[in-house]
């Protein structure tokens, strides 16, 4: 037989410890635990102390609710340990076959992303009761989540555990790097990108950061203060607000017939002509619609308002001058 590796010995010890602490009704003293868990018996008192402290931490890290309680019968205020079975076990929630099927989808959605392991483990736990999944009810559906940004895990941990982080951030406008200190509030995916919302300590204001503009590592700040996420925090509203401009009055434009399908989709009115169609677009933001109009090149002409007409013409003028005599 292959000799057990040191890790296997430790797994045995931890498993026996968990079983022992679940089995007992009353808290067990350290001395008692040492007698009851065979893998503790051979170690010196000092080594046992250190080992037991570490084991306790690791079990709690795993989410095992290990309680420290006073031992009632003891004359001195001795502390004992146990695991409350009701706190430990997965609540007895019965999922129906179609519910398990969508949970299966949710679990597989992470298959190419950072939480693939926990997502699969969660599904196994929920299925341990032997219920069948009705996968036919979700046939052909395949949600996929992606967390390609290298700093996703570091930021997610900070958001979940609520601690401030520092990172180097590249501005979207001029690509300049700056160091930021941020108290994370939420991590949100919007149109395929991850955004961190939080409080920027240097700027003393709420800010939005794109995870793909992080440069290098995000690390936990050495000086931590407790902070609270504002109750009314709406990450999506904050992200969209950070991207928006101001709305303009109705825009009049002419499109060559058959061109500009996406602008036509936005139009409130269209009057068709032989070569040119007249469109009115209401409530658009100038900074958004000018690029849309420009992208049509000579197939679109803005007629009103004057500011839109000037903006488009100036941009075309720039396109012309940047491409004049540039053939090397």
Partner 1 sequence: MTTFESATERLDRLLTLVPWLMTNQGIDLAQVAASFDVSQEQIVDDLQLLFVCGTPGHMPDDLIEASWEGGKLYVGNAETIATPLRLGRDEALALIVALRALAASTDPANRDAIDRALMKLEQASGESGSVANRVSFAVEDDQNAAHHLERLRSALSDHRRVSITYLAASRDESTDRDVDPMRVVQVGGYWYLEGWCHRADDVRLFRLDRIEALKVLEQDGTPPEHATSRPIGPGVFRPSEQDELVLLVLEPSAAWVVEQFPVESVVELADGYLEVGIRVADPQWLTRLIWRLGGQARVISPASLVESIRHAAQKALAMG
Applying CB under 8 A, among 29, 166, 188, 201 the residue interacting with partner 1 is 188
Least separation in angstroms between residue 70's CB and partner 1 is: 21
Closest CA to 155 of 141, 169, 145, 144: 169
Least Cβ distance, residue 164 to partner 1 (angstroms): 15
Considering the rule CB under 8 A, would residue 175 count as an interface residue with partner 1? yes
Asked whether position 286 contacts partner 1 by CB under 8 A, the answer is: no
Contact by Cβ (8 Å): 224, 163: yes
Contact pick of 51, 71, 102, 206 for partner 1 (by CB under 8 A)? 102
Q: How far is the CB of 297 from partner 1 (least distance, A)?
A: 5
Nearer to partner 1, 77 or 155 (CB): 155
- In the complex, least distance from residue 243 CB atom to partner 1, rounded to whole angstroms: 11
Q: Which stretch binds partner 1 (CB under 8 A): 10-18, 242-250, 266-274, 281-289?
A: 10-18
315 forms part of the interface with partner 1 (CB under 8 A): yes
Within 65-84, the residues that bind partner 1 by CB under 8 A are none
Q: Is 148 in the site for partner 1 (CB under 8 A)?
A: yes
Query: Is residue 25 close enough to count as binding partner 1 by CB under 8 A?
Result: no
50 in contact with partner 1 (CB under 8 A): no
Pairing of strands 193-200, 214-220: unpaired
User: How many beta carbons lie within 10 A of that of residue 34, not counting itself?
Assistant: 18
- Residue with token string 């068709």: 272
Question: In a 10 Å sphere around its CB, with 0-12 CB exposed, 13-18 middle and 19+ buried, how is residue 198 labelled?
Answer: buried
Q: Which stretch binds partner 1 (CB under 8 A): 67-75, 94-102, 217-225, 266-274?
A: 94-102
Among 75, 77, 265, 274, binds partner 1 (CB under 8 A): 265
Interacting residue with partner 1 among 42, 61, 73, 232 (CB under 8 A): 61
Read off the DSSP letter of residue 223: S
Provide CB contacts within 8 A for 102, sequence distance 6+. Answer: 137, 138
In the block, which residue shows the tokens 């590249």?
170
Of the candidate residues 50, 125, 220, 285, the single one contacting partner 1 (CB under 8 A): 125
- Rounded Cα distance between 61 and 195, Å, is 27
Tokens of 136: 């036919």
Indicate the residue among 75 and 208 with the shorter CB distance to partner 1. 208
236 belongs to the binding site for partner 1 (CB under 8 A): yes
Among residues 44, 73, 262, 275, which is the contact residue for partner 1, using CB under 8 A?
262
Instruction: Assess 250 for contact with partner 1 (CB under 8 A).
Output: no
Considering only 51, 301, 305, 307, the residue that binds partner 1 (CB under 8 A) is 301
- What is the torsional sign of CA 30, 34, 39, 45? positive
Tell me which stretch binds partner 1 (CB under 8 A): 74-82, 200-208, 280-288, 311-319: 311-319
Residue 249, CA distances (Å) to 195, 301, 306, 312 in order: 31, 17, 11, 16
**Which of 72, 176, 205, 275: binder of partner 1 (CB under 8 A)?**
176
In angstroms, the CA 248 to CA 293 distance is 15
Query: What CA–CA distance (Å, rounded) separates 308 from 4?
Result: 76
- Residues with Cβ within 8 Å of 14's Cβ and at least 6 positions away in sequence, in order, are 55, 58, 59
Rounded to whole angstroms, the Cα distance separating 192 from 283 reads 26
Q: Does 206 bind partner 1 (CB under 8 A)?
A: no
Instruction: Round to whole Å and give the CA distance between 159 and 89.
Output: 27
Sequence-distant (6+) residues with CB within 8 A of 319 are none
Nearer to partner 1 by Cβ, of 12 and 278: the residue is 12
Minimum CB distance to partner 1 smaller for 58 or for 69? 58
């Amino acid at each position: 037989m292959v000799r057990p590796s040191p890790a296997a010995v430790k797994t045995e010890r931890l498993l026996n410890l968990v079983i022992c602490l679940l089995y007992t009704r009353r808290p067990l003293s350290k001395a008692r635990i040492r007698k009851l868990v065979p893998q503790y018996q051979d170690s010196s008192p000092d080594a046992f102390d250190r080992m037991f402290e570490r084991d306790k931490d690791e079990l709690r890290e795993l989410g095992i609710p290990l309680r420290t309680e006073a031992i009632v019968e003891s004359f001195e205020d001795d502390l004992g340990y146990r695991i409350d079975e009701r706190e430990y076990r997965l609540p007895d929630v019965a999922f129906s076959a179609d519910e398990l099927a969508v949970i299966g989808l949710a679990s597989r959605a992470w298959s190419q992303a950072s939480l693939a392991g926990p997502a699969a483990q969660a599904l196994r736990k929920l299925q341990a009761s032997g219920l069948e999944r009705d996968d036919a009810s979700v046939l052909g559906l395949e949600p996929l989540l992606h967390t390609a940004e290298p700093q996703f895990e570091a930021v997610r941990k900070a958001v979940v555990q609520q601690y401030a982080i520092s990172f180097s951030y590249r501005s979207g406008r001029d690509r300049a790097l700056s160091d930021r200190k941020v108290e994370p509030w939420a991590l949100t995916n919007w149109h395929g990108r991850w955004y961190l919302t939080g409080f920027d300590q240097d700027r003393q204001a709420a800010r939005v950061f794109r995870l793909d503009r992080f440069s290098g590592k995000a690390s936990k700040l050495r000086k931590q203060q407790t902070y609270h996420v504002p109750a009314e925090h709406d990450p999506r509203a904050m992200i969209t607000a950070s991207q928006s401009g101001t709305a303009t009055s109705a825009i009049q434009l002419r499109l060559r017939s058959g061109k500009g399908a996406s602008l036509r989709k936005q139009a409130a009115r269209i009057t068709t002509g032989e070569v040119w169609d007249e469109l009115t677009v209401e409530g658009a933001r100038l900074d958004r619609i000018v690029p849309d109009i420009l992208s049509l090149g000579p197939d679109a002409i803005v007629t009103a308002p004057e500011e839109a007409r000037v903006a488009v013409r100036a941009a075309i003028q720039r396109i012309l001058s940047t491409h004049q005599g540039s053939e090397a």
